[in-house]
């Protein structure tokens, strides 16, 4: 699958639910309205959709949400998709808030998952509660232990937040690297209405990096994932540190990915509104001809890059959809 700019699309992120058991301040409003269930793809439909993409050359799948592990029976999907590993699929991964990970870690490993991303912005229980509104830090820390014990390699994703965790980042880094986990820092993105100003949260990663560089030796790493992350090796800890700066830098030229929401809408770019409805094609016929054609049409219109126009003083988001719909 090649888009008009010659980029090979080999990575698909799939959101399996818009629901979540947390309400992170940068992601959701406290009183979120979730989609009616009939709007969501069934797990069987998600599996059919993923299979179509895999047939067309997608080699890596990431399951996300909302919180993917709150979707009922989601292990069925992992088992079905995991059965493709070693043949048509290279990797099946998951991004999770960790709340339910302790009980699923063993099953995920058995299904063929080897790496998970756990989102964790602070190691302070009160701050954790303030950021996630509903989360319990100890549960997430126990889940990380369980995941590592089950054989899963864990990467930590942390959103850099002004005045919240900005002075804790080196602590997070030492903690993560000390446990053999990579750490990736994410800049806040203006996606979805969150009932508060985003200016208050925004912390440029250029600043975080400059501060860390005073304390550590950051060696540029050749590691690439095809996404908007750039990586460094931290000499003192031996661990890897990533920076995801989709707004301050534009790495669209090597973008290898597309995203499907839990309603079957395909977004060709995280920062653009261009989308294609695949649910209609899925539901119109059991034959995949329509679905294949809809995917081909969509890929042939993948935008060259994003042009997030950010005015962080505004309360309104640059794009109205929430991250929990497209899954980041």
Which residues here bind ligand SAM, judged by CB under 6 A?
20, 26-27, 64-65, 67, 95-97, 119, 157, 159, 186, 188-189, 191, 323-324, 327-328
CA of residue 248 relative to chain centroid, distance: 18
**Tokens 């929401």, residue?**
261
Q: What, of ligand SAM, ligand SF4, none, does residue 23 touch, CB below 5 to 8 Å by kind?
A: ligand SF4
Which residue, 168, 163, 167, 158, is CA-closest to 188?
A: 158
For residues 22 and 53, which CB has a smaller minimum distance to ligand SF4 in the complex? 22
Those residues with Cβ within 8 angstroms of residue 108's Cβ, 6 or more apart along the chain or in another chain: 75, 78, 94, 116, 147, 150, 152
Give dist(CA 89, CA 91) in Å, integer.
Answer: 6
Tokens of 78: 């992992």
Count the residues of the shown chain that bind ligand SF4, applying the rule CB under 6 A: 12
Q: What, of ligand SAM, ligand SF4, none, does residue 157 touch, CB below 5 to 8 Å by kind?
A: ligand SAM
In Å, the largest CA–CA distance within the chain is 59
Question: Strand, helix or coil at 291?
Answer: helix
Do the bridges between strand 218-220 and strand 229-234 make them parallel or antiparallel, or are there none, so unpaired?
antiparallel
Which of the residues 6 through 45 are near ligand SF4 (CB under 6 A)?
A: 20, 22-24, 27-28
Shortest separation between residue 65's beta carbon and ligand SF4, angstroms: 6
Q: How far is CA 273 from CA 63, 66, 302, 314, in A?
A: 21, 19, 11, 19
Q: What, of ligand SAM, ligand SF4, none, does residue 327 touch, CB below 5 to 8 Å by kind?
A: ligand SAM
Question: Strand, helix or coil at 131?
Answer: helix
Shortest separation between residue 28's beta carbon and ligand SAM, angstroms: 8
Examine residue 97 and tell whether it contacts ligand SF4 (CB under 6 A).
yes
191 secondary structure, DSSP code: B
Q: Which stretch binds ligand SF4 (CB under 6 A): 63-71, 199-207, 224-232, 270-278?
A: 63-71
Which residue, 211, 255, 315, 251, is CA-closest to 1?
A: 255
For residues 22 and 232, which CB has a smaller minimum distance to ligand SF4 in the complex? 22
* DSSP β-bridge partners for residue 322: none
Q: Site map for ligand SF4, 102-121, x if CB under 6 A? A: -----------------x--
For residues 176 and 212, which CB has a smaller minimum distance to ligand SF4 in the complex? 176
Q: Which of 46, 66, 89, 172 binds ligand SF4 (CB under 6 A)?
A: 66
**Tokens 């979707």, residue?**
71
Q: Which of 17, 93, 201, 324 binds ligand SF4 (CB under 6 A)?
A: 324
In the complex, which residues of this chain contact ligand SF4 (CB under 6 A)?
20, 22-24, 27-28, 65-67, 97, 119, 324
């Amino acid at each position: 699958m090649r888009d008009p700019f010659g980029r090979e699309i080999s990575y698909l992120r799939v959101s399996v639910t818009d629901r979540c058991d947390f309400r992170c301040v940068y992601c959701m409003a406290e009183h979120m309205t979730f989609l009616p269930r009939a709007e969501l793809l069934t797990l069987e439909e998600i599996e059919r959709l993923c299979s179509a993409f895999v047939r067309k050359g997608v080699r890596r799948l990431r399951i996300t949400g909302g919180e993917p592990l709150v979707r009922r029976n989601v292990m069925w999907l992992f088992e079905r998709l995991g059965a493709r590993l070693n043949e048509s699929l290279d990797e099946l991964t998951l991004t999770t808030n960790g709340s339910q990970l302790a009980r699923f870690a063993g099953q995920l490993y058995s299904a063929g998952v080897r790496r998970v991303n756990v989102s964790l912005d602070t190691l302070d229980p009160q701050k954790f509660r303030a950021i996630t509104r509903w989360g319990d830090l100890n549960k997430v820390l126990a889940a990380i232990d369980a995941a590592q014990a089950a054989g899963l390699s864990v990467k930590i994703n942390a959103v850099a937040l002004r005045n919240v965790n900005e002075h804790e980042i080196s602590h997070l880094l030492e903690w993560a690297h000390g446990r053999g986990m990579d750490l990736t820092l994410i800049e806040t993105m203006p996606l979805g209405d969150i009932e508060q100003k985003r200016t208050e949260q925004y912390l440029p990663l250029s600043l975080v990096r400059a501060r860390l560089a005073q304390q550590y030796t950051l060696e540029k790493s050749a590691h690439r994932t095809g996404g908007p992350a750039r990586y460094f090796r931290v000499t003192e800890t031996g661990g890897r540190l990533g920076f995801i700066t989709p707004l301050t830098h534009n790495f669209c030229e090597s973008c290898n990915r597309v995203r499907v929401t839990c309603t079957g809408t395909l977004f060709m770019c995280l920062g653009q509104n261009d989308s294609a409805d695949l649910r209609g094609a899925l539901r119109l016929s059991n034959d995949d001809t329509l679905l294949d054609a809809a995917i081909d049409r969509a890929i042939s219109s993948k935008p060259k890059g994003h042009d997030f126009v950010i005015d962080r003083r505004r309360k309104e988001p640059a794009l109205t959809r929430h991250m929990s719909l497209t899954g980041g």
